[in-house]
């Protein structure tokens, strides 16, 4: 593989730093954040890649290194053996260079600022929400004095071509209606809406369209950003990433996906099912082409038999109608605007929504934790949703995250156990994902990282 060495100067947010800030970057980039910094920066340099294994990406680039270099006027990044795909005629692509410094900002600088800052007690629900606000504000994602217009789009990285084209058309219809897009920043259903919205924005002569990619170290290392992302933010873990979607976005559209998408659906349903959020307007639409109808039927049935009828009322399923999806979302976001205005809540950050600590504290998917999940109905419905979310989070880790893959190789499959009335529909849904090829990218042979113990 052809590689390039380069030294880069920051622009914008990190071009003026104090000596204290420079020392933080130097120390942290060689300390506890060094591995994440290397893996995430390599993912950025592979922007547009369809690889979905962090381990494979690192193995393909064994000689890649990145260092923070101190200069009299601040810092530079020294990059060794970078993939040639990140360059044009010897110059690094501008968007990729910008993303590299976003990685430095979020993994090293903000990571150090959050974890070592006595202001943030990350066992406190309020402080977790404040820390997420701090990260997003530092990344300049939060823009005041603008009416709600950010649509979060969730869905799988491994989707069929017809499904991908559908996500592009929905994005196009949203772009025509002056909506901006926020996704997990990877390929598939995360890429399509951004590409479509870009065309819609161009037709409306919108030159400042926003294509926000919100990710976390384990995911971005496995799923490089797609080329449309123009605002990249890396949260410290999956739970803070999910909360950032909810706090930043004004509505959510879910396209077909696999276990990661199921995790996201269960996360938002668990929050909306909490009694404190009963009257809160938050549009949630599940959609796809006609060929995906069976997929949504299985999701809908799974929610019915596990979380019940009330959970099904929290979302709307629209099949094969991209224009209706966009119209419905714009109408519902107008309701969000009115609600925020009457409650004096910020348009740019959803402070008023209640998120329980069980949705905020990081879940470490060890074999012990996976086998001890409370998968039974003898608990509040939103708590069951939280535990089901953790089950899917573990499966995602075992599928694509380097740490999870290594754990499976060392200790064998995760064992998931609980009550039959929960495990049977869970097993059926996972089997459907495997049969539909939703666990890995097309062409890959999927070997399950889990075992359902009934």
- For 233-271, how does the pLDDT look when each residue is reduced to its tens digit (9 = 90+)? 999 999 999 999 999 999 999 999 999 999 999 999 999
CB within 8 Å of 341: residues ≥ 6 apart: none
Q: Which pLDDT band holds residue 122 (cuts at 50, 70, 90)? A: confident
Task: Kindly indicate the confidence band of residue 21, based on its pLDDT and cuts at 50, 70 and 90.
Answer: confident
Closest CA to 451 of 433, 432, 431: 431
Which of 13-27, 30-44, 161-175 ranks highest by mean pLDDT? Answer: 161-175
H-run or E-run covering 296: helix 293-306
Select the more confidently predicted residue: 48 or 12: 48
d(CA 397, CA 52): 12
In the block, residue with structure tokens 């004095």: 145
Burial class of residue 125 (count of CB atoms within 10 Å of its CB; 0-12, 13-18, 19+): middle
Superfamily of domain 3-115: MoCo carrier protein-like (3.30.1850.10)
CA-wise closest residue to 174 among 182, 163, 164: 182
Render pLDDT for 65-88 as a digit per residue (tens, 0 to 9). 888 888 776 788 899 999 998 999
Split at pLDDT 50, 70, 90, the class of 343 is very high
Q: Compute CA distances 287 → 216, 236, 247, 290, whole Å.
A: 25, 29, 22, 9
Look up tokens 């609600």; give the residue: 339
Whose CA is closest to 282, among 273, 291, 290, 292? 273
pLDDT grade for 93, boundaries at 50, 70 and 90:
very high
Residues 388-440 have pLDDT tens digits of 999 999 999 998 787 888 999 999 999 999 999 999 999 999 999 988 888 87
Contact (Cβ atoms closer than 8 angstroms) between residue 107 and residue 237:
no
User: What DSSP character marks residue 413?
Assistant: S
| 449 Cβ contact partners less than 8 Å away, ≥ 6 residues apart | 395, 398, 399, 404, 405, 408, 413, 414
- Which of the two residues, 19 and 406, has the higher pLDDT score? 406
Identify the pLDDT of residue 318. Answer: 98
Q: Is the pLDDT of residue 139 over 90?
A: yes
Kindly state the average pLDDT of the residues 125-135.
95
The pLDDT value recorded for residue 53 is 66
Output DSSP code: residue 256: S
To the nearest whole percent, how much of the chain has pLDDT over 70?
97
Residue 56's pLDDT is 73
Sheet holding 3-8, edge to edge: 3-8, 74-83, 65-71
Q: In 274-359, where do the E strands start and end?
A: 284-288, 316-319
Whether the pLDDT of residue 360 is over 80: the answer is yes
Question: For the chain, how big is the Rg over CA atoms in Å?
Answer: 21
Mean pLDDT of the 88-116 span: 87
Backbone angles phi, psi at 297, to 5 degrees: -60, -40
Please give the Cα distance from 132 to 359 (Å, whole number).
14
pLDDT at 29 over 90: no
On whether the CB atoms of residues 222 and 402 are closer than 8 A, the answer is yes
Identical fold between 3-115 and 145-454: no
Q: How confident is the model at residue 52 (pLDDT cuts 50, 70, 90)?
A: low
The structural domains of the chain, with segments of one domain joined by +, span 3-115, 145-454
Minimum mean pLDDT range among 159-163, 219-223, 391-395:
219-223
> Residue 219: which pLDDT band, with cuts at 50, 70 and 90?
confident
Token pair for 14: 């990190």
Residue 410: predicted pLDDT: 94
Q: Residue 48: its pLDDT value, please?
A: 75
pLDDT of residue 59: 77
- How confident is the prediction for the chain on average, in pLDDT? 91
The pLDDT value recorded for residue 108 is: 82
Does residue 12 surpass a pLDDT of 70? Answer: no
pLDDT given for residue 13 in this prediction? 64
Q: What percent of the chain has pLDDT over 90?
A: 67
Answer for the pair 332, 283: CB distance below 8 angstroms, yes or no.
yes
Q: Are residues 386 and 356 in contact, defined by beta-carbon separation less than 8 angstroms? A: yes
Q: What is the pLDDT of residue 18?
A: 76
Residue with tokens 């934790």: 369
Is residue 163 within 8 A of residue 291, CB to CB? The reply is yes
Other CB atoms within 10 A of residue 371 CB: 15
pLDDT value for 58: 73
Confidence of residue 231 (pLDDT cuts 50, 70, 90): very high
| Region of residue 237 (phi > 0: left; psi between -120 and 50: alpha; otherwise: beta) | beta
Q: Domain 145-454: which topology?
A: Rossmann fold (3.40.50)
> Tokens at residue 214, please?
């919100």
CA distance linking residue 145 with residue 155, whole number of Å? 30
DSSP three-state, residue 439: coil
Q: What is the DSSP letter of 363?
A: P
- CA dist 333 and 146 (Å) reads 13
Rounded to whole angstroms, how far apart are CA atoms 132 and 124? Answer: 12
Instruction: Work out the burial of residue 89: count CB atoms within 10 Å of its CB; fewer than 13 is exposed, 13-18 middle, 19 or more buried.
Output: exposed
Per mean pLDDT, which range of 26-40, 146-160, 226-240, 252-266 is the poorest?
26-40
pLDDT at 151 over 70: yes
Q: What is the pLDDT of residues 307-330, one digit of tens each?
A: 999 999 999 999 999 999 999 999
Of 171-175, 344-348, 416-420, 442-446, give the lowest mean pLDDT range.
Answer: 442-446
């Amino acid at each position: 593989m052809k590689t390039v060495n380069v030294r880069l100067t920051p622009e914008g947010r990190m071009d003026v730093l104090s000596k204290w800030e420079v020392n933080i970057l130097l120390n942290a980039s060689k300390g506890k954040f060094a591995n994440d910094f290397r893996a995430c920066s390599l993912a950025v340099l592979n922007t547009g890649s369809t690889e979905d294994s962090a381990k494979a990406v690192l193995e393909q680039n064994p000689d890649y290194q990145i260092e923070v270099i101190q200069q009299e006027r601040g810092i530079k990044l020294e990059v060794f053996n970078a993939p040639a795909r990140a360059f044009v005629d010897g110059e690094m692509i501008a968007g990729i260079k910008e993303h590299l410094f976003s990685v430095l900002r979020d993994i090293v600088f903000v990571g150090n600022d959050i974890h070592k800052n006595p202001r943030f007690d990350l066992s406190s629900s309020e402080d977790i929400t404040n820390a997420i606000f701090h990260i997003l504000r530092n990344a300049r994602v939060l823009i005041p004095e603008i009416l709600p217009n950010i649509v979060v789009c969730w869905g799988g990285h491994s989707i069929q071509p017809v499904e991908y084209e559908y996500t592009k058309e929905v994005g196009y219809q949203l772009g025509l209606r002056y909506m901006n897009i926020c996704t997990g920043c990877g390929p598939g259903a995360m890429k399509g809406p951004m590409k479509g919205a870009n065309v819609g924005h161009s037709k409306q002569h919108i030159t400042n369209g926003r294509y926000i990619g919100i990710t976390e170290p384990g995911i971005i290392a496995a799923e490089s950003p797609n080329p449309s992302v123009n605002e990249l933010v890396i949260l410290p873990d999956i739970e803070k990433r999910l909360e950032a979607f909810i706090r930043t976005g004004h509505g959510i559209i879910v396209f077909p996906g696999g276990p990661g998408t199921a995790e996201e659906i269960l996360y938002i349903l668990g929050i909306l099912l909490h009694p404190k959020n009963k009257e809160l307007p938050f549009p949630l639409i599940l959609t796809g082409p006609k060929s995906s109808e069976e997929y949504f039927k299985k999701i809908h049935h799974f929610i019915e038999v596990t979380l019940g009828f009330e959970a099904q009322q929290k979302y709307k399923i629209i099949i094969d109608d991209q224009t209706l999806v966009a119209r419905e979302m714009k109408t519902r976001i107008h309701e969000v605007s009115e609600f925020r205005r009457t409650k004096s809540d910020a348009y740019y950050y959803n402070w008023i929504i209640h998120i329980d600590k069980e949705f905020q504290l990081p879940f470490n998917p060890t074999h012990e934790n996976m086998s001890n999940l409370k998968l039974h109905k003898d608990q509040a419905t939103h708590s069951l949703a939280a535990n089901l979310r953790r089950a899917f989070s573990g499966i995602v880790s075992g599928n694509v995250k380097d740490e999870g893959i290594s754990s499976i190789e060392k200790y064998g499959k995760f064992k998931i156990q609980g009550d039959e009335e929960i495990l049977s529909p869970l097993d059926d849904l996972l089997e459907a994902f495997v049969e539909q090829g939703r666990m890995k990218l097309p062409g890959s042979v999927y070997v399950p990282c889990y075992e359902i113990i009934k």
